[in-house]
């Protein structure tokens, strides 16, 4: 039960990081493709 909650929290944190980093990645890819 605890492991499930821990993995859920980890997934939420990971999703938050990805959401905050995604615009930067898109901008980087656009600059690189030019």
Count, residues in the chain: 34
pLDDT in tens, 1-34: 899 999 999 999 999 999 999 999 999 999 998 7
Please give the radius of gyration of the chain, using alpha carbons only, rounded to the nearest integer: 15
C-alpha atoms less than 13 angstroms from C-alpha of 22 in its C-beta half-sphere: 7
Query: What is the C-alpha separation between 24 and 14, in angstroms, rounded?
Result: 16
Query: What is the C-alpha separation between 10 and 20, in angstroms, rounded?
Result: 15
Query: What is the C-alpha separation between 14 and 33, in angstroms, rounded?
Result: 27
Write down the pTM of the prediction.
Answer: 0.58
């Amino acid at each position: 039960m605890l492991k499930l909650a821990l993995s859920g929290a980890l997934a939420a944190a990971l999703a938050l990081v990805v959401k905050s980093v995604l615009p930067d990645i898109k901008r980087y890819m656009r600059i690189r493709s030019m």
